[in-house]
């Protein structure tokens, strides 16, 4: 066990019961305040440990990192050092925060190294180089296949042989709290009608998680399933906003484009893969047997509870989905091995999303498309209104947590189309 994950550890920093940010977590993010420039921090309870300050005071020397890694508006510097050094950094922070460690606790720098979260503004944690979106939940793929294709043969022939994915758009990935404007595009009214241009009428969320990579092995060098986790820095919650009507008209033959690339929202704290180790679980039985490059040894799925809440402008909110990352058919090892098996190279800060994470039964579906079953089963909201898809003024909030680990949340409010 990684000592920083020891469930018995306690911090001298006061951490509220039930906080997502226990000492066993220590996720990394980017923040600033009215008096502090943008920099790297680590969440602990409802405070942020200021890593630039810690480095300047000498607490993070000997780790092979530089001031520029911490006095930065992105985590890429830390991530680009690779797994061993970023893990050592988290271990060092864990040591400094432990109740029985006086080194930081009793130093004159203790108070200046902690910033209340309420005073901080969070930013995009990484410069995303490339973004790939997988389609790895069998329940989601089956639901979509049942709705739009053949209920008897809902999965396409390739689906159980490879983690299907497409290359998405990195430029429009935004941090939690960023308002999302309802996109416009081509809509196709009915079979014999020509397309029209206008705001999407079917604005949806997709409940996903995404992993962020360390630099890979270079062009032409595949990463195996055994090696894959050495190249994964951590994870965030990922809301892949989707315009279903634009998507439906455009996606054949080359796949998603404007129905997807207008925005995706992520949670601001990157939870390291190290911190998630206690939550490994066995995945579903994969049948038919996968090709040898997709086989793996250890339990490589992760047990993380997920939920989605819709908050209308009047505040009477509703949880519309409770799911879990463990429902994925394909795990991250397989996704990364497949992504690179042809020699495609990954870089530090690349983001690879899971695809919509649906569970097996109603209540665990990860998109309004499935929850409302293409609009045929509207969701009753507490104020008496109904939702088939997301309305202007609604805020969509996603949360993820398990045991001593939490991701905080990703939140986004939908604004009307136009200016
Ligand atoms: Ca997606």
Cα 353 from Cα 367, distance rounded (Å): 15
pTM above 0.95, yes or no: yes
Closest residue by Cα to residue 302 from 337, 273, 268: 273
pLDDT digits (tens, 9 = 90+) for 224-276: 999 999 999 999 999 999 999 999 999 999 999 999 999 999 999 999 999 99
Q: Is the pLDDT of residue 419 over 80?
A: no
Tens digits of residue pLDDT in 168-177 = 999 999 999 9
pLDDT tens digits for range 69-105: 999 999 999 999 999 999 999 999 999 999 999 999 9
Query: Over 90: is that where the pLDDT of 220 sits?
Result: yes
Residue 384 pLDDT grade (very low, low, confident, very high; cuts 50, 70, 90): very high
Average pLDDT over residues 347-376: 97
Distance 120 CA to ligand 1 centre (A): 30
Confidence of residue 191 (pLDDT cuts 50, 70, 90): confident
CA of 303 to the centre of ligand 1 (A): 20
- CB of 203 within 8 A of CB of 245? no
Question: What per-residue string of b and e applies to 286-316 under the rule 16 or more CB within 10 Å gives b?
Answer: beeebeeebebeeebbbbbbbbbbbbbeeee
CA of residue 32 to ligand 1 center, whole Å: 30
The two tokens of residue 118 are 């309420």
Give the pLDDT band of residue 10 (cuts 50, 70, 90): very high
Q: pLDDT digits over 20-52, tens only?
A: 999 999 999 999 999 999 999 999 999 999 999
CA of 31 to the centre of ligand 1 (A): 27
Residue 11 has pLDDT above 70, yes or no: yes
Which of the residues are catalytic?
Answer: 140
């Amino acid at each position: 066990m990684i000592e920083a994950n020891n469930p018995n550890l306690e911090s001298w920093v006061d951490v509220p019961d039930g906080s997502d940010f226990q000492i066993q977590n220590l996720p990394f993010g980017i923040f600033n305040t009215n008096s502090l420039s943008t920099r790297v921090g680590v969440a602990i309870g409802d405070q942020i440990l200021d890593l630039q300050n810690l480095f300047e005071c000498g607490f993070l020397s000997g780790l092979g990192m530089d001031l520029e890694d911490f006095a930065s508006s992105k985590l890429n510097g830390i991530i680009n050092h690779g797994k061993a050094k970023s893990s050592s950094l988290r271990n060092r922070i864990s040591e400094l925060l432990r109740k029985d460690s006086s080194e930081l606790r009793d130093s004159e720098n203790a108070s200046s190294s902690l910033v209340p979260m309420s005073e901080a503004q969070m930013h995009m944690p990484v410069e995303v180089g490339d973004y790939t979106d997988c389609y790895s939940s069998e329940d989601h793929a089956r639901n979509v296949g049942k709705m739009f294709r053949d209920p008897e043969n809902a999965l396409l022939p390739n689906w159980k042989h490879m983690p299907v994915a497409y290359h998405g758009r990195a430029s429009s990935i935004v941090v939690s709290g960023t308002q999302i404007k309802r996109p416009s595009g081509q809509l196709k009214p009915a079979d014999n009608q020509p397309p029209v241009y206008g705001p999407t009428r079917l604005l949806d969320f997709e409940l996903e998680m995404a992993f962020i990579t360390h630099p890979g092995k270079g062009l032409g060098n595949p990463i195996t399933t055994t090696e894959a986790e050495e190249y994964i820095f951590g994870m965030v919650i990922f809301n892949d906003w989707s315009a279903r009507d634009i998507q439906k008209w455009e996606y054949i033959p080359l796949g998603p484009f404007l129905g997807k690339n207008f925005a995706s929202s992520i949670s601001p704290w990157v939870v390291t893969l190290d911190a998630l180790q206690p939550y490994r679980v066995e995945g579903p039985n994969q049948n038919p047997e996968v090709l040898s490059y997709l086989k793996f040894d250890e339990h490589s799925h992760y047990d993380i509870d997920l939920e989605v809440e819709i908050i209308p402008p009047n505040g009477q909110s509703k949880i519309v989905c409770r799911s879990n990352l463990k429902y994925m058919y394909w795990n991250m090892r397989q996704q990364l091995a497949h992504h690179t098996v042809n020699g495609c190279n990954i870089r530090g800060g690349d983001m690879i999303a899971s695809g919509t994470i649906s569970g097996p039964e109603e209540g665990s579906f990860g998109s309004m498309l499935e929850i409302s079953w293409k609009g045929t089963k509207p969701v009753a909201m507490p104020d008496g209104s109904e939702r088939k898809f997301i309305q202007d003024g609604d805020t969509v909030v996603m949360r993820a947590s398990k045991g001593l680990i939490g991701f905080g949340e990703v939140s986004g409010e939908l604004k009307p189309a136009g200016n």
